[in-house]
Amino acid sequence: MNNNTLRIAIQKSGRLSEDSLKLIKECGIRFDNGAGKLKTDATNFPAEILFLRDDDIPGYVEDGVAHLGIVGENVSEESSRNVDTVHKLGFSKCRLSIGVLREHDYTGVQDLEGKSIATTYPRLLGQYLKANNVSAQIHEISGSVEIAPSIGLADAVCDIVSSGSTLLSNGLKEVETIFRSEAVMIASKQLSEVQQNLLDQLLFRIKSVQVAKN
C-alpha cells in the first residue's frame, strides 16, 4: 500500500452503505463498484474503497490498514479504538436507548439497580450505569436484543432505536436515551503528509456538499 493513496473503508451492505457511497460520489470521486467487489480503485482521485462489515472498520482504521472509515458513532465509541473522529456526516441518525416491558412501572434510572440488561453495547451501557451509580448485570448478546425481556432472558434492553417501532412490537417502551449517534468519518492517527493533504481535500468537498444541501 503506498503512502500517497487514501484507503477508505465503508460498510459493504447495511444501513450506512447507500449514503456512504452517495457521499463519496457527491465529492466527485468516481469508481466502479461492481457487485460483490470488496475493494475498488477510484479513477480520478488517489483513493481506494474497501467494503467491510461496519464493526470491523474502527479496527482497520486504528491499525492503519484503512486510512479513513465511515461508521456509526455508536460502533466507533463502543469499539474504543484509538482513531480520530474527523467529521459528522449527518446521516444514519439514531439513538442508543434503554427499554423495559411496557407494563413495568418505570420511575427512573435507579429502577435498573440489580436488574439484568441485554445489549450488544456493553461498554457504552457500562459507562452510563457507572455515571448514574447504578449496579446492574450487563447481559451481552449479539443480536435480536429486543426479544430478551419477553422470553425472560433479561429485565431490560439497551439497543439502537430509530423509529421506535421495534421496541413497540416487542412490548417494550423507551425509558432512557444513553447515546445519540450519526454516521461519522474516522481517520487513522498514522497518516502520511500526503494522506493528510488528501483528507483535507476530501473534508473540504464534504463540507461543500453539506453546505449546498442546507
Q: In angstroms, what is the minimal distance from the CB of 72 to Zn ion?
A: 9
- Residue closer to ligand PRT, measured from CB, 85 or 197: 85
Count of positions on this chain that bind ligand PRT (CB under 6 A): 21
Site for ligand PRT in 193-212 (CB under 6 A): none
**Among all residues, whose Cβ is closest to ligand PRT?**
72
Q: Choose which of 14, 28, 108, 114 interacts with ligand PRT (CB under 6 A).
A: 14
Segment interacting with ligand PRT, rule: CB under 6 A, options 48-56, 59-67, 189-197, 199-207: 48-56
Amino acid code (one letter) for 176: E
What track of x and - describes contact with Zn ion for positions 48 through 87 (by CB under 5 A)?
------xx--------------------------------
The dihedrals phi and psi of 61, each to the nearest 5 degrees, come to -75, -40
Q: Which does 162 bind (CB under 5 to 8 A by kind): ligand PRT, Zn ion, none?
A: ligand PRT
- Can you give the binding site for ligand PRT, defined by CB under 6 A? 11, 14-16, 53-55, 72, 74-75, 92, 94, 159-166, 181
